[in-house]
Amino acid sequence: MIVSEALQIRRSCRAFKPDPVDRDTLLAVLGAALCTPSWANSQPWELFVAGGDVLKEINQAYLENQRKGVQPSPDLPRPKNWPASINARRQELFSGLSLAAGEAAKQFGELNQKFFHAPAVIYLGMDKSLTTWSVFDLGAISQSIMLAAVERGLATIPAVTLVHYPEVLRGKLGIPDNFSLVLGIAIGYEDKEHLINNFKSTRRPLAEAVSIKGLE
Ligand SMILES: Cc1cc2nc3c(=O)[nH]c(=O)nc-3n(C[C@H](O)[C@H](O)[C@H](O)COP(=O)(O)O)c2cc1C
């Protein structure tokens, strides 16, 4: 598979089949992704994978927190305000989702809460003293993971909801207190029957997103 094909195929999967992902396949995905560049080759990422009963326990603890009304407290706080253009694109995402998935779009929140029924989640962490410079590197490795997954017929979704309760993750996965949890990537096999997966998000036109000067 060529890279542009993988870039086109990758999209966020919001409903997975229960089929497990085997350990060797997961390690092959993560091993390939470790080629990702980072500032001064700092490789600031710490990757924690949960599957099987461990992931079920994490999900139970999240659901319990939600039931009790515990507010999510991600280590990277949610921005309070967004510029109008970004807000408009968020609105577009939800209206597009409703159009493509119909009634299934209403399951968006519940699927997030249930980790999209994924058989495994990769959590990306970094030392708490690090800054946005390293968040950039974690973003880069996230895309590498997702593309390496595509090559192996796996689907993914990067989701901040997966790191809404970092204390639960630290407890269940034995993650030291000095690590922030930045993002979760759910990974598994796409449930092609689920209508929420009908949705394909759009992109800004090239001419709007890119400005070039001095090139013919
Ligand atoms: C950093 C990050 C966090 C995200 N968090 C969530 C999330 O919590 N829940 C969710 O359903 N999708 C989440 N997404 C998926 C985006 O909504 C999705 O990438 C975007 O709409 C583009 O669609 P595509 O991934 O299908 O191309 C997240 C994506 C990124 C990159």
Does ligand 1 have an atom closer than 6 angstroms to the CB of 183?
yes
Distance between CA atoms of 45 and 33, rounded to whole angstroms?
Answer: 11
| Residues 133-137: contacts with CB under 8 Å, at least 24 apart | 133/39, 134/38, 134/39, 134/42, 134/44, 135/76, 135/182, 136/39, 137/36, 137/37, 137/38, 137/39, 137/42, 137/43, 137/44, 137/45
Ligand 1 contact, 172 CB (< 6 A)? no
Instruction: Report the CATH architecture of 3-75+86-199.
Output: 3-Layer(aba) Sandwich (3.40)
**Residue of the CA atom closest to atom 7 of ligand 1:** 159
At residue 188, the pLDDT reads 98
Contact partners, residue 55, CB within 8 Å, separation at least 6: 115, 118, 119, 120, 121
Q: How far is CA 4 from CA 7, 141, 151, in A?
A: 5, 17, 11
Task: Report the pLDDT value the prediction gives residue 132, as an integer from 0 to 100.
Answer: 94
Q: Is 91 helix (H, G, I), strand (E, B) or coil?
A: helix
Q: Which residues pair with 186 in a beta bridge?
A: 121, 157
Residue 164's pLDDT is what?
A: 98
Of all protein residues, the one whose alpha carbon is nearest to atom 23 of ligand 1 is: 201
Residue in the structure block whose two tokens are 């109008």: 84
**pLDDT score recorded for residue 100:** 87
Residue-wise pLDDT tens for the chain (216 aa)? 999 999 999 999 999 999 999 999 999 999 999 999 999 999 999 999 999 999 999 999 999 999 999 999 999 999 999 999 999 999 999 899 999 888 988 999 999 999 999 999 999 999 999 999 999 999 999 999 999 999 999 999 999 999 999 999 999 999 999 999 999 999 999 999 999 999 999 999 999 999 999 998
State whether the beta carbon of 96 lies less than 6 angstroms from ligand 1. no
The domain locations on the chain are 3-75+86-199
**Strand pairing partners for 77?**
none
